[in-house]
Structure 1
Amino acid sequence: MNIKCRYSGLTPQCAIVVATVRALKMHGGGPDVVAGRPLDRAYVSENVSLVEAGCVNLAKHISNTKAYGVNVVVAVNMFSTDTEAELNAVRKFSMDAGAFDAVICSHHAHGGKGAVDLGIAVEKACQNITHPLRFLYPLDISIKDKIEAIAKSYGASGVEYSDQAEKQIEMYTQQGFSNLPICMSKTQYSFSHDASKKGAPTGFVLPIRDVRGSIGAGFIYPLVGTMSTMPGLPTRPCFYEIDIDTATGKVRGLS
């Protein structure tokens, strides 16, 4: 699930939550998706009940985003295997969860014209602001209080800190950086630290392994669980396709 914002100056007016039927089926308890292996039939055939079960994840995203006082538009990216019943289920669930609108988008297949309705919905959402922008926490509270406010918004019951994290928090506090906002470094696959916990888990304890600072950029980022800060690579990095043609001496796979 992805969240994007449209800005007017520095004040967001609308957030777009991007959802797909397949992702919601996974959050509803669908089979594991393994790179290089064909998708399970559950993801390419109609299963409305699986979609509806996964919509708890979407509802949590909508609720969390609305807490900032912005309108939420859900962009449902449509693919060829999605059925009308599945797409309608996502749209209905989105509206019931408080979205300003939920739009079926086909730009994957049709380019810009497949997202025209989304653009119109975002424009309307930006013209119908009913609450001022508000933040999850005030900047003048402690680093730990900020981390814990974020953790609770995920559904955590508490936070545990490693000795290293405690040491770093103390250092940044003494250096006068405790007023910086927090940017959590956490798996994108779950509200928790555990990528296997789908849907909208609750009652978990969020482990903070380390706390680091991007002081020049103006934020502090805790590392949640086993999250790595190594650059992300695709499942099969492109360097696997690069080789030398021994007959011609030319390099293949660079284009």
Structure 2
Amino acid sequence: MKSDVEISQAVELSPINEVAEKIGIDDANLEQYGHYKAKVSLSDVDKNQGKLVLVTSINPTAAGEGKTTLTVGLGDALNELGKNAVLALREPSLGPVMGMKGGATGGGYSQVVPMEDINLHFTGDFHALTEAHNTLAALIDNHIHHGNELNIDPRQIEWKRVLDVNDRELRQTVIGLGGRTSGVPRQDGFDITVASELMAILCLSTDLTDLKDRISNILIGYTYDRKPVYVKDLKVQGALALLLKDAIKPNLVQTIEHTPAFIHGGPFANIAHGCNSILATKAAMHYGDIALTEAGFGSDLGAEKFMDIVTPKLGKNPDCVVVVATIRALKLNGGQNKKELATEDLHALETGAVNLFRHVKSMRNFQVPVLVTINKFGTDTENEVTLLTKLIKDNLNLPTYVSENFEKGGKGAIDLAKGVIDAVEQPNNFTPVYDSDDDIETKMQKIVTKVYGGANVELSSKAKTQLKKIKKLGYDKLPVCMAKTQYSFTDNPKELGAPVDFTIHVSELEIRSGAGFIVALTGKILTMPGLPSHPAALNMDIDDQGKITGLF
């Protein structure tokens, strides 16, 4: 089988204006970036809402889950069945693209295209976010250098700098060296761009005015007498918003089978809320009969945050949830060696299936229809598929849909598409995990017990002090964004399967007053990842004709 980039390069793309016209977007609202991608100016997208399908998965493993691949294939399959399906997906970050994870455009014959553009610079949204974020950082330091009218304490500045690249060397830095003309020396550091609060704000904003209001409420630090300082105190929210005036518009592309896809925003799901923009999801619901969106990593992270942070602002709850699993990943959860996953191992599969059961049960807590699909690999045996199907039936009382869209495109997900068509018409009684009036500790406890399957939450002394500050500033009713490893229900990435009676340890609580949530940092979560020993970048090249190889 050809590589992903080879498959993508062989596709004959439709001009983007034709893709837009097919779902009712006229040229007046289309800003083309070349022939095959465009930004869309939106109006009245709250009207004529279609059904909404949320795709999530088990905990990610080195064996792969294919959540984006499945989402793309499902959209193509729905269109094969005569439905008007539109996708809303996240933009890839250059950090994972050049690092270990790779791109985020699907795979095989279920991809969004042009994949090279989308996985690289695309329409420049991440660059705009990086510039806006660092402009604010420069304005803060400039204010201090020129007299510090706001009395900002350089030791209590909360706003770091960012880059859209994995660079461990920049996690902790010292700036302002070089004498009086080079600023005020202080400790600083860099996060990756997708961890920026501006990324979360972009993805949660409903329009340009909302974007500017949220930016104005960003907490940037404290004064010497410990009073909070916000962007609005610097009076630069307008300047930062204008740097994002184009980035706030969703991007329109297509799948290999020409299904329209809005790709916009991409906050990390383990350190932010992990979902594409509200505007992109609203656009998909407005222009499609069925909108499909995905949430980052497993259901314990991205899906929970979609339900509890995004849904209230979106004004629409999912009509059904699809949980994706692979036999390979479940065998890895069951103890099979990574190098032997192509070998049949029914014992490991049965042992590891508890991870899937936990995810499905967690999603059922939200009182919406839940479907399970096996993203089938060529190495999966008939015995393994039969066993997993039986296990799902016996433990969850659900049918199992086997999807082969990686190799077959939309035709490989027809059965799942039929199940989705039925599921979105079923009544549901959507119920969030916690009440909006719950305090921070109660919200965390409910997430841990209802979603993770754990028992307790334990706050460090630093987190307890920060909680007092949160209450004093009046932010103790905000939603909670748990920053946790994606590999486990616990805060230990090595605890696979479905552990019970564990404690989640919260090391820090961070205020994201512009985005409108509190980040609870657990375990060893890094906001600036590092590159692996063999980065994906080492396999990439471009020839003198401009043909790209090694991108995935």
Structures share a fold, TM > 0.5?
A: yes
Give unmatched runs, 5+ long, in structure 1. 34-38
Task: Flag the 1:215–1:254 CA change in 2: closer, same or farther, 3 A.
Answer: farther
Task: Flag the 1:221–1:95 CA change in 2: closer, same or farther, 3 A.
Answer: farther
Partner amino acid, structure 2, of 1:186: K
For 1:90 and 1:173, how far apart are their aligned partners in 2?
Answer: 47
Determine if contact 2:358/2:453 at 8 Å carries over to the other structure: no
Partner amino acid, structure 1, of 2:377: F
1:157: Cα distance to partner?
2.2
Q: Deviations over 1:187-236 (max 9, x none)?
A: 11111111111111112221111112332222222111112222576774
| Corresponding position of 1:128 | 426
Task: Flag the 1:233–1:214 CA change in 2: closer, same or farther, 3 A.
Answer: farther
| Corresponding position of 1:191 | 489
| Corresponding position of 1:48 | 346
Q: Is 2:440 the partner of 1:143?
A: yes
For 2:449 and 2:362, how far apart are their aligned partners in 1?
Answer: 11
For 1:61 and 1:86, how far apart are their aligned partners in 2?
Answer: 20
Name which of structure 1's ranges 178-187 and 91-100 shifts more when overlaid on structure 2. 91-100
Give 1:214-225 correspondences, 5 Å limit. 214-225=512-523
Give 1:148-187 correspondences, 5 Å limit. 148-153=445-450, 154-187=452-485
**Which structure has the greater CA radius of gyration?**
2
| Corresponding position of 2:380 | 82
| Corresponding position of 1:12 | 318
Determine if contact 2:454/2:502 at 8 Å carries over to the other structure: yes
Q: Is 2:412 the partner of 1:114?
A: yes
For 1:188 and 1:99, how far apart are their aligned partners in 2?
Answer: 27
Partner amino acid, structure 1, of 2:355: N
For 1:254 and 1:101, how far apart are their aligned partners in 2?
Answer: 38
Out of 9, 22, 30, which is 2:328 matched to? 22
Task: Flag the 1:82–1:225 CA change in 2: closer, same or farther, 3 A.
Answer: same
Q: How many residues align?
A: 242
Task: Flag the 1:114–1:234 CA change in 2: closer, same or farther, 3 A.
Answer: farther
Determine if contact 1:28/1:52 at 8 Å carries over to the other structure: yes
For 2:477 and 2:419, how far apart are their aligned partners in 1?
Answer: 36
1:170: Cα distance to partner?
1.9
For 2:532 and 2:392, how far apart are their aligned partners in 1?
Answer: 31
Task: Flag the 1:128–1:233 CA change in 2: closer, same or farther, 3 A.
Answer: farther
Partner amino acid, structure 2, of 1:174: K
For 1:142 and 1:20, how far apart are their aligned partners in 2?
Answer: 37
Determine if contact 1:186/1:193 at 8 Å carries over to the other structure: yes
More helix by share: 2
1:100: Cα distance to partner?
4.5
1:242: Cα distance to partner?
6.6
SS at match of 2:366: coil
Partner amino acid, structure 1, of 2:324: V
Between the two structures, name the one with larger relative contact order (CA 8 Å, sep ≥ 6).
2
Partner amino acid, structure 1, of 2:336: G
Question: Which runs of structure 1 show a deviation greater than 3 angstroms over 4 or more consecutive aligned residues?
Answer: 2-9, 231-236, 238-245, 252-255
Determine if contact 2:436/2:477 at 8 Å carries over to the other structure: yes
Q: Deviations over 1:19-69 (max 9, x none)?
A: 0001111111222x3xxxxx22xx111112211111111111111110100
SS at match of 2:492: coil
For 2:388 and 2:473, how far apart are their aligned partners in 1?
Answer: 47
For 2:347 and 2:445, how far apart are their aligned partners in 1?
Answer: 34
1:243: Cα distance to partner?
8.5
SS at match of 1:97: helix
| Corresponding position of 2:366 | 68
For 1:30 and 1:207, how far apart are their aligned partners in 2?
Answer: 28
Partner amino acid, structure 1, of 2:406: H
Out of 83, 88, 93, which is 2:391 matched to? 93
| Corresponding position of 2:356 | 58
| Corresponding position of 1:36 | none
Partner amino acid, structure 2, of 1:12: P
Determine if contact 1:151/1:159 at 8 Å carries over to the other structure: yes
For 2:386 and 2:530, how far apart are their aligned partners in 1?
Answer: 34
Determine if contact 1:77/1:104 at 8 Å carries over to the other structure: yes
Q: Percent identity?
A: 35
1:184: Cα distance to partner?
1.2
For 2:317 and 2:482, how far apart are their aligned partners in 1?
Answer: 21
For 2:384 and 2:550, how far apart are their aligned partners in 1?
Answer: 40
Task: Flag the 1:145–1:116 CA change in 2: closer, same or farther, 3 A.
Answer: same
Partner amino acid, structure 2, of 1:142: D
For 1:213 and 1:87, how far apart are their aligned partners in 2?
Answer: 45
1:71: Cα distance to partner?
1.1
Name which of structure 1's ranges 163-172 and 20-29 shifts more when overlaid on structure 2. 163-172
Task: Flag the 1:238–1:150 CA change in 2: closer, same or farther, 3 A.
Answer: same
Give unmatched runs, 5+ long, in structure 2. 1-57, 59-297
1:114: Cα distance to partner?
1.1
Task: Flag the 1:119–1:254 CA change in 2: closer, same or farther, 3 A.
Answer: closer
